[in-house]
Amino acid sequence: MFHVKHPPHILLINPWITDFAAYNLWVKPLGILSIGSILRQAGFRVSLVDCLDFPSRKKTYGDGMFYKIRIEKPLPLKYIPRYYSRYGVPDTLLLDKFSSIEKPDVICITSGMTYWYHGVFKVIEITKKLFKDTPTILGGIYATLCYEHAIKHSGADIVLKGGNEWELLKLISEITHFELRIDHWELKIDDLPYPVFDLYPSLDYVCISTSRGCPFRCSYCASHYLTGGFERRDPLQVIDEIEYWTTQHGVSNIAFYDDALLVEPFKNIIPLLKGVISRKIHCNFHAPNGLHIREIDEEVAALLFRGGFKTIRLGLETSNEVLQIETGGKVDNQGFQSALRNLKKAGYPLENIGVYIMAGLPGQRVEQVEETIAFVRENGAKPLLTEYSPTPHTVMFQKAKELSTFDLEKEPLFHNNSVFPCQWEGFTPADLRTLKEDLKKA
């Protein structure tokens, strides 16, 4: 009797979040889901364990609260007077999930925020016990931005930087001695198959990117370091993907993960939304990352409304003109006011438009944030406070290290905005609490 040898089995894992607070703003591990689709197309068998995929309270559009379990705070954060939690599936149920999975030949684990690494380490520890001798590969944001820390402390067998899918594919091929079913595939952005969202037992929403990277170089953002450039998909292929998820899987909510969705609108968002409208695709779109204000003219605003964008978030960051230039120069106050006028004319109630405001930037004074909040309110929109998180390999990280009392270089837990890493006499934790309380009252 001949035995058919199965292709190698690759287990993909999205770890828990460990933090003081977390909200499911259409969170899915798009990077590792895309890697899963590439592995599957290359001939591997792929399975997925997403530790964040557990029933929780959901809102109308699929976003909502994560299930959480209170856990002990890591030692460096003991002094923070807040509860610390692990977000996602309970550990007993996670063990049940793992026990039902065929032993993998390779385990690929992604990582999110740098200060969530305790959840990553716990998952690696569990898989090492359950799947002895199975090599673990760690990638993602934390692994890239804190590469040396991950190598030294994570327990993973291999730590990979960046989003080089071809490098990972060749590595897994070498580990498993499996010949790839791909011939000279350069993995250009339009060559990639759809992410393996079909591995989820149910789908409330999916996430889509029309591009990789960002053409801007904002001083607080590491997008350029994580991706190495800016590359955009053919908008017609994006429309095809939207149509696929809505018709084949019944998805009614899609979140765009782009850093630059509206940049060069005639090359991307305008043909994309015109295609969605002409094909009569009915879907709720969301832009949690924030939209570039400068590109929202009357035509773009009208297409956003007609095309089905329900969640509009604008990235103002600050109304202070000096800070606007220092942080990247991608927005000004006149452009912000013009965008709001155009969105209102298109049909959006201004009070439903959230505007991201940065708080706690190195050297920032609380008065600057108060002025920005007042400016947003005066123009009828809803201010949303975004607390600064120091991010390695950014221009602002160097300034943050100089001004912070925390060791931002050696301990990623101190990147957590909940510790208010760049507090000083001009902007204290008490000032931040007052700002938050005032926003709740409004």
Average pLDDT, the chain: 93
- pLDDT at position 183 is 59
Strand partners, 210: none
Query: Residue 1 above 50 pLDDT?
Result: no
Instruction: Identify the CATH homologous superfamily for domain 207-441.
Output: Aldolase class I (3.20.20.70)
Contact, 214 vs 326, CB < 8 A? no
Distance of CA 183 to the CA centre of its chain: 31
- Which CATH architecture does the domain made up of 9-176 adopt? 3-Layer(aba) Sandwich (3.40)
Contact, 104 vs 10, CB < 8 A? yes
- pLDDT at position 310 is 95
| Segment 147-161 mean pLDDT | 97
Q: How confident is the model at residue 3 (pLDDT cuts 50, 70, 90)?
A: very low
Contact, 77 vs 42, CB < 8 A? no
Q: Which residues contact 264 (CB under 8 A, 6 or more apart)?
A: none
Instruction: Give the model confidence (pLDDT) of 358-378 as tens digits.
Output: 999 999 999 999 999 999 999
Contact, 295 vs 317, CB < 8 A? no
Which is it for the CA torsion 87, 92, 96, 102, positive or negative?
positive
The model's pTM: 0.94
- pLDDT at position 189 is 84
Neighbours of 167 (CB within 10 A): 14
- pLDDT at position 216 is 85
Instruction: Give the model confidence (pLDDT) of 280-339 as tens digits.
Output: 999 999 999 889 999 999 999 999 999 999 999 999 999 998 888 887 778 899 999 999
Q: How confident is the model at residue 442 (pLDDT cuts 50, 70, 90)?
A: low
Interhelix angle 429-441/366-378, nearest 10 degrees? 10
Q: Which residue has tokens 């060749």?
A: 170
Q: Are strands 253-256 and 313-317 parallel, antiparallel or unpaired?
A: unpaired
d(CA 382, CA 262): 21
d(CA 170, CA 175): 9
Amino acid at 388: Y
Query: Residue 417 above 60 pLDDT?
Result: yes
Q: Which residues contact 1 (CB under 8 A, 6 or more apart)?
A: none
Q: How confident is the model at residue 153 (pLDDT cuts 50, 70, 90)?
A: very high
d(CA 258, CA 255): 9
Same-fold call for 9-176 versus 207-441: no
Instruction: Give the model confidence (pLDDT) of 113-144 as tens digits.
Output: 999 999 999 999 999 999 999 999 999 999 99
Query: Residue 47 above 60 pLDDT?
Result: yes
Domain boundaries, the chain: 9-176, 207-441
Contact, 196 vs 36, CB < 8 A? yes
- 3-state SS, one letter per residue, for the chain: CCCCCCCCEEEEEECCEEECCCEECCCCCHHHHHHHHHHHHCCCEEEEEECCCCCCCECCCCCEECCEEEECCCHHHCCCCCCEEEECCCHHHHHHHHHCCCCCCEEEECCCCHHHHHHHHHHHHHHHHHCCCCCEEECCHHHHHCHHHHHHHCCCCEECCCCCHHHHHHHHHHHHCCCCCCCCCCCCHHHCCCCCHHHCCCCCCEEECCEECCCCCCCCCCHHHHHCCCEECCHHHHHHHHHHHHHHCCCCEEEECCCCCCCCHHHCHHHHHHHHHHCCCCCEEECCCCECHHHCCHHHHHHHHHHCEEECEEEEECCCHHHHHHCCCCCCHHHHHHHHHHHHHHCCCHHHCEEEEEECCCCCCHHHHHHHHHHHHHCCCEEEEEECCCCCCCHHHHHHHHHCCCCCCCCHHHHCHHHCCCCECCECHHHHHHHHHHHHHC
Better pLDDT: 117 or 217: 117
- pLDDT at position 293 is 94
d(CA 233, CA 165): 16
Query: Residue 379 above 60 pLDDT?
Result: yes
Query: Residue 428 above 80 pLDDT?
Result: yes
Q: How confident is the model at residue 181 (pLDDT cuts 50, 70, 90)?
A: confident
Better pLDDT: 147 or 58: 147
**What would the two tokens of residue 17 be?**
């979040």
Query: Residue 13 above 80 pLDDT?
Result: yes
Amino acid at 268: N
Contact, 386 vs 356, CB < 8 A? yes
